[in-house]
Chain A
Amino acid sequence: MGLTGLEIFKQLPKTNCKDCGQPTCLAFAMALAGGKVSLDQCPHVSDAAKEALDSASAPPIALVKIGTGENAIELGNETVLFRHDKRFEHKTGIAVSVCDTMSADEIAAKVDQINKLVFDRVGQTHKVNLVAVGNCSNDAGKFVEAVKAADAKSVFPLVLMSEDPAAIEKALEITAAKKPLVCGANAANLEAMTNLVKKFDVPMVVKGADLNELAALVEKVVGMGHKQIILDSGAREVNKVLADQTQLRRQALKKFRPFGYPAIAVADNKDTFQAVVDAGVYIAKYAAIVVIDSADPADVLPLITLRLNVYTDPQKPIAVESKIYEIGNVDENSPVYITTNFSLTYFCVAGDVESSRVPGYILPVDTDGISVMTGWAAGKFTPEKITELLQTSGIADKVKHRKAIIPGGVAVLSGKLQELSSWEVLVGPRESAGIASFLKQRWL
């Protein structure tokens, strides 16, 4: 990543033979730096130069895949420390754990609950990503039974959490085809674990007692020829995890190769509330995977929401199309709501119209995906634009009445809007949550 043309040029044969289709080696180097050509288009580049260029142009954090099929996830490829520098690329995988001290039925029940941790937000589906099976019993046989039970139920890929190579081997024999994450290797079992994950071709967590040991272990694993690695600095207390995760990310961006992999954080605080809070810190601060114990939606919803927010591309707000939306069984008497096309705004309103149980039409004005008050302040949510939408969307053919409900926050628009559109303007509540009671007083 980010090699300059001159840095690349140094590695080329400098013969200007034109076989690559470029007039000179320098021109080729510039085109390569700009991503317009690929290195293999030069037939004369030496193997040594190829390797140097490949590794220098590799992203600072490797891409690692877990699972197969529609619930597979990709982690890594991050390029920044702060989301405002560009954006965070691959959102944190949330793993919910079960333990092999639970009975097969208990495991099945909890995995069922985990499968249901799917939430609709701003028109997208958001869910947890992994089921982590813990070898809490330290018994290989029990672990394999637990893995079987979880594997049978789970729609998500598994994390096999055992440091016993014998247990992992048996578990991989059952599940390897679904590409689970092995968690994992440490100083004591490094060789055996690495041989297993190589044999089954699955990703693996490497855990050090601290950052120094972690770097040494990763080098060994890479030396043995395995590169699907997830880092674990061994820290479990939130203050230490923050420090270590910050170091891992900073060092990766400085191209310290042993730390050029995604990292995992385990939120195992004994206080179950604090564990959720800790997990929130890990989502904001660089963890590629966070392991939690709770499958309670009250705990998981805030984490999933935080992840959505932190990983939103700062350069583009999520927007919906500006058109007529019908909520429920609308008819010619149904109310008409005006809002903006910022998806958060739209889905707040849509959710509240739905829970009012009165079918309605929603017309989001195209404000370039910004909220009601922001749109108003920026001159993008104006009486003119609302009028245009009322006149061109076709809503006048769908309803007999001529009443439009606007957000309470922009009550000041009502006079001008009424004048321009000749629709009667009803000022709704400030928060869309008040729509149900507003309807009772003003509509029905």
Chain B
Amino acid sequence: MAVTIAKERWTSKVNELVLGAEPNAIKVGGDGTLPFLFFEGDMPNRPVVALEVCDMEPADWPDILKDAFAGVLGDPVAWAKKCVEYGADLVCLRLSSAHPDNKNASPEDCAKTAKAVADAINVPMIVIGCGVEEKDAEIMPAVGEALAGKVALLGCATPNNYKTITAACMVSGHSIIASSPLDINLAKQLNILITEMGLAGNRIAIDPLVGALGYGIEYAYSIMERSRLGALTGDKMLAMPVICFVGQEAWKAKEAKASRDETPEWGDQARRAILWEVMTSTTFAQASGAIFVMRHPDSLKQFNAHVAKMMEPVKY
């Protein structure tokens, strides 16, 4: 009995975002279908993984994470090189030291660190601030200038600081991460504000502020599915690839942090913790995530193995 395959005819595509400068540039997005449904459209670029580097030794990382970067945690340049060795497509530098509660590092110091890291590696960079909106607005212009020509992805822009960060991206040729808390209209609004300043839509990545498996993953999952459907049906202000900061969320979860002694009924901690980070990511990949910022090299390896399989097209 011949079954008539149900195919949707999508009218639009996700923007293709270029990260990094030749010869090391990579592309994300460009999808003309729901994730991995090659029978009805193209998915020209696979989801990519950035490993996270902090500009100061992280205080709250569990040992399983720290062990993977033993010896380099105090040195962002060495740490970034290690990430590249582990196979990261990108390095995501987090400028925690800029936080007023930490070192309150100056824009110049942040720029110096960012430049030192970028010069030491041959993969594209993501640079995010410390999460304090005003401070991030202060440091990003300097960081952007120091990385001019590197075509980095800078963030995270919010309605309160997007102006300076957008301007920094425009002046120095970078792209921007636009963050909005799990709300499709807020995401659109911010994209409109940014594009109205003159930054092209294909230089924006949407950050929906995802939660981890067990901690609100379902909200982000549905927001991402809805924005992909919007993108495919012609909404230009939702046609941006999605970046998921999975590592910071997954490694906060009790399921990743609790040792086997604390929770014997949950099994081996390392396996459970890596699965937490990987399954948060692979679930978002099904919902349309394009850039995944992770922390553990094993997570990267497992995620890539899974994605390689998913990228083998099935057609009817």
- Residues in chain A within 8 A of chain B (CB atoms): 82-84, 116, 119, 121, 211-213, 215-216, 219, 237-240, 242-243, 246-247, 250-251, 254, 256, 258-259, 271, 273-274, 276-278, 280-281, 284-285, 296-299, 301-303, 305-306, 308-310, 312, 314, 344, 348, 351-352, 355, 371, 374, 377, 431, 433
Are A285 and B222 also in contact (CB < 8 A) when A239-B310, A296-B267 are? Answer: no
Are A239 and B314 also in contact (CB < 8 A) when A281-B286, A351-B254 are? Answer: yes
The reply to whether A215 and B3 contact each other, CB–CB distance below 8 Å, is yes
The answer, yes or no, to whether B1 is at the interface (CB within 8 Å) is: yes
Closest to A342 in B: B216
Determine the distance from Cα of A302 to Cα of B275 in the docked complex, in whole angstroms.
7
- Additional A-B contacts beyond A119-B265, A212-B3, A259-B3 (15; CB < 8 A): A82-B222, A83-B221, A84-B222, A121-B214, A239-B313, A247-B3, A247-B6, A273-B271, A273-B275, A274-B309, A281-B282, A302-B275, A302-B279, A308-B214, A344-B215
B225 contact set on A, CB distance < 8 A: 82-84
Are A243 and B39 also in contact (CB < 8 A) when A237-B309, A277-B306 are? Answer: yes
Which residue of A216, A284, A299, A431 is within 8 Å of B286 (Cβ)? A284
Are A302 and B213 also in contact (CB < 8 A) when A219-B1, A238-B306, A277-B278 are? Answer: yes
Main secondary structure of the interface of A (DSSP, over half): helix
Residue of A82, A237, A250, A278 with highest tally of chain B CB at under 10 A: A82
B216 contact set on A, CB distance < 8 A: 344, 371
The answer, yes or no, to whether B266 is at the interface (CB within 8 Å) is: yes
B116 CB to closest chain A CB (Å) equals 30
The reply to whether B305 and A431 contact each other, CB–CB distance below 8 Å, is no
The reply to whether A377 and B282 contact each other, CB–CB distance below 8 Å, is no
Cβ contacts A to B, 16 pairs, < 8 Å = A82-B222, A83-B222, A215-B3, A239-B313, A239-B314, A246-B37, A254-B6, A259-B3, A273-B278, A274-B309, A277-B278, A278-B306, A285-B286, A306-B283, A309-B218, A355-B262
Determine the distance from Cα of A351 to Cα of B3 in the docked complex, in whole angstroms.
51
The answer, yes or no, to whether B9 is at the interface (CB within 8 Å) is: no
Closest to B310 in A: A239
Determine the distance from Cα of A383 to Cα of B15 in the docked complex, in whole angstroms.
44
Main secondary structure of the interface of B (DSSP, over half): helix
For the complex of A and B, 7 pairs with smallest distance between CB atoms: A298-B267, A297-B267, A216-B1, A298-B272, A243-B314, A250-B6, A84-B222
The answer, yes or no, to whether B276 is at the interface (CB within 8 Å) is: yes
Number of residue pairs A-B, CB distance < 8 angstroms: 150
The answer, yes or no, to whether B302 is at the interface (CB within 8 Å) is: yes
A334 CB to closest chain B CB (Å) equals 22
Which residue of B36, B255, B262, B306 is within 8 Å of A305 (Cβ)? B255
Closest to A215 in B: B1
The reply to whether B266 and A274 contact each other, CB–CB distance below 8 Å, is no
Determine the distance from Cα of A237 to Cα of B313 in the docked complex, in whole angstroms.
12
The answer, yes or no, to whether B70 is at the interface (CB within 8 Å) is: no
> Which of the four size classes fits the interface of chain B?
35 or more
Determine the distance from Cα of A377 to Cα of B180 in the docked complex, in whole angstroms.
13
The reply to whether A348 and B254 contact each other, CB–CB distance below 8 Å, is yes
Which residue of A301, A302, A305, A310 is within 8 Å of B221 (Cβ)? A310
The reply to whether A277 and B218 contact each other, CB–CB distance below 8 Å, is no
B272 contact set on A, CB distance < 8 A: 297-298, 301-302
The answer, yes or no, to whether B312 is at the interface (CB within 8 Å) is: yes
- Residues in chain B within 8 A of chain A (CB atoms): 1-3, 5-6, 36-39, 181, 213-218, 221-222, 225-226, 229, 252, 254-255, 257, 262, 265-269, 271-272, 274-276, 278-279, 282-283, 286-287, 302, 305-306, 309-314, 316
Are A298 and B271 also in contact (CB < 8 A) when A246-B37, A251-B6 are? Answer: yes
B269 contact set on A, CB distance < 8 A: 298
Determine the distance from Cα of A191 to Cα of B51 in the docked complex, in whole angstroms.
55
B105 CB to closest chain A CB (Å) equals 21
Closest to A283 in B: B283
Determine the distance from Cα of A121 to Cα of B286 in the docked complex, in whole angstroms.
24
The reply to whether B309 and A297 contact each other, CB–CB distance below 8 Å, is no
Determine the distance from Cα of A280 to Cα of B153 in the docked complex, in whole angstroms.
30
Are A298 and B305 also in contact (CB < 8 A) when A247-B6, A306-B213 are? Answer: no
A280 contact set on B, CB distance < 8 A: 279, 282-283
The reply to whether B6 and A274 contact each other, CB–CB distance below 8 Å, is no
The reply to whether A305 and B213 contact each other, CB–CB distance below 8 Å, is yes
B13 CB to closest chain A CB (Å) equals 19
Are A240 and B314 also in contact (CB < 8 A) when A302-B255, A302-B276, A344-B216 are? Answer: yes
Determine the distance from Cα of A414 to Cα of B215 in the docked complex, in whole angstroms.
25
B86 CB to closest chain A CB (Å) equals 17
A60 CB to closest chain B CB (Å) equals 13
